[in-house]
Amino acid sequence: MSSINSVIIDDESFNRELVKDFILKLNPAYNIIGEADNIEDGYELINRFKPDLVFLDIKMPGGSGFDLLERFKTYNFEVVFITGFDEYAIKAFEFNALDYVLKPIDQSKFRKTLDNVKARFDNRLSNITNLTSVMKSYEKGSTYITKIPLHYHDEVILLGIEQLMYVQSEEGYTTFFTIGSEKYVSSRKLSDFEFIINNFPGFIRINKGVYVNLHYIKAYSKGETCVIKLFNDVSFEVSRRKKTEILAILDRK
């Protein structure tokens, strides 16, 4: 394609100017056609100019970048997120293979992002499917993932975390078991999902390879070996290292 028509939505004028300056220096394929400093003006800007790409700040007064994206039923534009250091947000972008720029913006890293996005446009590849999946993974008004996207046959299943009874690591892949006795398998390792699960109230890690949902514990033993039994009568042994911590949590239930 010729120019990648782009807009910048960021409440900080310094960042908007920096993005424009870097683009001018680093990659002439990008054409900045508009900018806004809040989500209301940003929404109008996108609808008016219909850009190919949006450089979008996550945190702005009056609403987040996610709040803006939620207003669209479908996406006809790519997004490069702009964010301050937020460990959770960064892990979420990387988990979902989304493009992002970290504040303060580093020129060399920004160049790499611009090159990656341009290569995708040149090859007529799109990240919109990932973006759509991500937006469905967040609750409205939240910046935390509440549904885990899993590829299942030809579909992407969005598993509500509250519907999971336990999550288990098995030989390099991860298995999710729901309260409805459904089983889903991901080729990703359990460690890839930990930032999501650890942030969700009610889940505890009981040993190296298993997280359980506290709401679905049927019974547990307090002997030398601590064993947790779930409502589906599946049992797991609690590691010795985690035993004191887990028992303290269970005794408070």
Is residue 6 within 8 Å of 30, Cβ to Cβ?
A: yes
Same domain, 171 and 245: yes
Q: Write phi, then psi, for 198 (nearest 5 degrees).
A: -65, -25
Other CB atoms closer than 10 Å to residue 136's CB: what's the count? 11
Summarize pLDDT for 154-191 with one digit per residue, the tens: 888 899 999 999 999 988 899 999 999 999 999 999 99
Element of type H or E holding 45: helix 39-49
Same domain, 169 and 129: no
The CATH number that applies at residue 41 is 3.40.50.2300
Share of the chain above pLDDT 70, in %: 99
Domain count, the chain: 2
Same domain, 95 and 128: yes
Same domain, 173 and 129: no
In sequence order, what DSSP letters do the residues of 57-115 get, joined into one string? ESEETTEEHHHHHTT-SS--SEEEEEE-S-HHHHHHHHHTT-EEEESSPPHHHHHHHHH
Q: Write phi, then psi, for 23 (nearest 5 degrees).
A: -60, -40
Averaged pLDDT for residues 87-107: 92
Same domain, 132 and 170: no
**pTM for the model:** 0.85
Summarize pLDDT for 65-83 with one digit per residue, the tens: 999 999 999 999 999 999 9
